[in-house]
Chains A and B, each alone.
Chain A
Amino acid sequence: MISYLGRRLIQSVLILLGVSLITFALLYLLPADPVRQIAGRSATPATVESIRRQLGLDQPFLVQYGRYLLSLLQGDLGRSYIQRSEVSQLIVARLPPTLLLMAGAIVFELVIGLTMGLIAAVRRGTRTDQSLMVVSFVGVSAPQFVVGLLLLYAFAVKLGWFPIGGYGTFSHLVLPSLTVAVMSSGWYARMMRSSMIDVLRQDYIRTARAKGLGRTAVLLRHALPNAILPIIAMIGIDIGILMGGIVVVESVFGWPGIGQLVWQAIQRVDIPIIMGVTLVSALAIVLGNLLADIIAPLIDPRIKLR
């Protein structure tokens, strides 16, 4: 276990290094010039060159990347080109909302996805099953921008149940996390359905029924825990998928998270922020996967870590 963890940690660091190199290279190759964004439209070529020199953007790629890595190792993510503030400060200020949104989304996707999957499996082959699977398919395919606006319009504007965008209270959290959850709950519904169908076919279920246990008891006490196991392990991996949705949903709902931060940074070629957020997200995904791998043997003793 210890050696496994050690190996995985080294792998994680290598992955992060790779992510940083690739992102840095992509941003370097971008035709857009960050210096022009800083200097603005009225700047003379002399001003532009002076800023380029000061930021070290006149150096060859490897020197620039080396400098970035060096300060990264000292925990310095640099300063935003446009905002001029410390990137770490900007990310720290925006991380809590994103984590909250993610937590809310995980709760929603599990509740909705597992319930739908459970019902579909029990009613396998019926109209209910078919319509639930259609719904999950729509959920997976619907663009989140559209889902967000629809939810906003129906539940906030028309019904007035929730505030129209913003951040702060629990009721602000409901619609955005629901929007993020819609897509992944579709996946969960499908996984839960097939996992449940597998379990329901097992002999011990038949035994439980044969010894006279009620249908509900069998489902909830015998089938459900076993069917959920493989799915719980998915949550860690899910973080990566959620990250993608969060960028869109945060801008629809005015949610002050890192998705919104990076979205604005991309428009302005604010490389330090793009790098910083990419690395933090990559770290979250790597940690999520690691967590999933560690949890898996705990809930299913048949899985061994090597």
Chain B
Amino acid sequence: MMKSYLASTVAAAVLALGLSSASAQVAADPAAKQGGSITITYKDDVATLDPAIGYDWQNWSMIKSLFDGLMDYEPGTTNLVPDLAESYDISEDGQTFTFKLRKGVKFHNGREMTAEDVKYSIDRVVNPETQSPGQGFFASIKGYDEAAEGKAEGVSGITVVDPHTIKFELTRPDATFLHVMAINFSHVVPKEEVEKHGADFGKNPVGTGAFKLGEWTLGQRVVFERNPDYWNKGLPHLDSITFEIGQEPIVALLRLQNGEIDIPGDGIPPAKFQEVMNDPEQKARVVEGGQLHTGYLTMNVNIPPFDNVKVRQAVNMAINKERIVQLINNRAVPANQPLPFSMPGYDKDYKGYPYDVAKAKELLAEAGLDGGIETDLYVMNTDPNPRIAQGIQQDLAAIGIRANIQALAQANVIAAGGEKEGAPMIWSGGMAWIADFPDPSNFYGPILGCGGAVPGGWNWSWYCNADLDKKAQEADSIVDPARAEERNKMWGEIYVKIMEDAPWAPIFSEQRFTLKSTRMGGADNLYVDPVHIPVNYDHVYVNDVQ
């Protein structure tokens, strides 16, 4: 019997004993105060709260508070723990995952959640009629293809063993499967409510989560109320959360300073960042944390001169990343490889390409291109991205590459990147990859693997290395937790190998800065939770209640 490779302390202890993983439920903070309400603002509408559909960074963690999955993460960390599952078993070959469900878990409508609901929820996401953006995450389950094409009713590899046991059979060993069981797309929904509301389920969400939907006034506000029957007793701490929608970040900041709101969900507006950080009183209420994000410059390997690896390496050496980080008020740290530094598998010993203009010019000369190059740099047209592109443009000019900036709406940049010979260079800002789950594999497939180098794909450099694809598959078939280090190392090597071919120039990893009101309590890492962004709604609390 094998177990999750993840470094969860509880899971690790269980592993040492050679048992099945036991209930490792996340406990409530004993110092937390119960009650009170908070207000959070967002600029954009909450599009939907349907876990099968929602894929915005803003509704992602809202959905996590209304619904639960079989797995979750310890608050403020990337450590996997069972959630709706009480325990799980992984077969020797890494292809069968069996979950024992927690008993007595109720949906907000009062009905008890069973294994049937888990199967229904995943079948629904895979069903093409749901048009779920998360369909592909379940591709390793047996019977996925037939179900995804609409040829079969449900995914045949998912079996309800009894009301509290569910079994997943996979077509290949998949080390990321427990993460997949933690993403929103596998969160459990009640069939009767989905059928009752149809496409409007996203506006009438019913789950098992810590909060339930209280009120939704379109375009104005969404109110979450405490679920008194939540299975994890002691949670959540807050009685209610009001999300006010349609508020510009700058207005939200003014209202926070005025004591009207508790967390500006879109963060500190760039133009005000310095002002806030220079004020000791406000700075004390800012929580800084890492983010599973990398901002990168893609170079399309189909378009000359970027078909020449020397040119791509030269670009990597020409960019002064320190200076670009300064352009955004040091809200990031320079990157030298695709993985962000807080991701398992990040190679600390890899030094990357140094900033070396002379060497870069030399490489261009070797490529026979010292006469100068004219090309296009695509960028999303919202601040600070055009400014960053200008920084890159200046650095490239210094080695004789004249990059014309094409600042376009997000959707247009994405469209150009998805064409084989669409965009020579793209600065990823505003569209950059933020991991779906904290695993090194998540930075490969769609953005650097052959699978993403297709029309409409996200591999904008169109880099496709069959050897690396094979190695990636090899790494992901290491399900044995004892070999987790080995697997992470393999992934690290894959990314270093990619850097030799240099389809990207990684520029920086963004840091998160969450500003909160003085009354907010709870550990700092709840406010920069790597999974619940911007904050972990279930665990934060307010200090001014008795």
Contact = CB atoms under 8 A, between A and B. Distances in A.
Interface stretch (A18-26, A42-50, A280-288): A42-50
B250 A83 contact: no
Contacts of A33: 411, 414-415, 418, 456
Interface in A72-94: 79-80, 82-86, 89-90, 93-94
A205 interface: no
A261 interface: yes
A42 B251 contact: no
B248 A41 contact: no
A254 B418 CA distance: 34
Given A36-B414, A164-B258, A167-B220, A42 B148 contact: no
B455 interface: yes
B412 interface: yes
A90 B47 CA distance: 11
Interface in B438-483: 446, 451, 454-458
Nearest to B256: A164
Among A34, A85, A255, find the residue whose CB has the most chain B CB atoms closer than 10 A: A85
A240 interface: no
B133 A264 contact: no
B136 A267 contact: no
Nearest to B129: A54
Nearest to B56: A82
B135 A93 contact: no
Contacts of A51: 128, 131
A164 B255 contact: yes
B276 interface: no
Contacts of B260: 164
B203 A42 contact: no
Contacts of A266: 409
Interface residues of A, number: 58
A34 B415 CA distance: 10
Contact of B135 (A44, A156, A252): A44
A166 B242 CA distance: 14
A274 to B, nearest CB: 12
A43 B412 contact: no
B55 A37 contact: no
A254 B244 CA distance: 9
A124 interface: no
A192 B260 CA distance: 42
25 contacts: A32-B415, A33-B411, A33-B418, A36-B456, A41-B133, A41-B458, A42-B134, A43-B133, A43-B135, A45-B454, A46-B148, A47-B133, A47-B136, A47-B148, A50-B131, A51-B128, A83-B203, A85-B200, A93-B218, A157-B254, A164-B251, A252-B248, A256-B217, A256-B218, A269-B411
Leading 4 A-B pairs by shortest Cβ distance = A40-B133, A32-B411, A256-B219, A93-B218
Given A31-B412, A80-B47, A254-B245, 4 more contacts: A54-B129, A84-B202, A166-B244, A256-B245
Interface of B: 44-45, 47-48, 50, 53, 55, 128-129, 131, 133-137, 139, 148-150, 199-200, 202-203, 217-220, 244-248, 250-251, 254-255, 258, 260, 409-412, 414-416, 418, 433, 436, 446, 451, 454-458
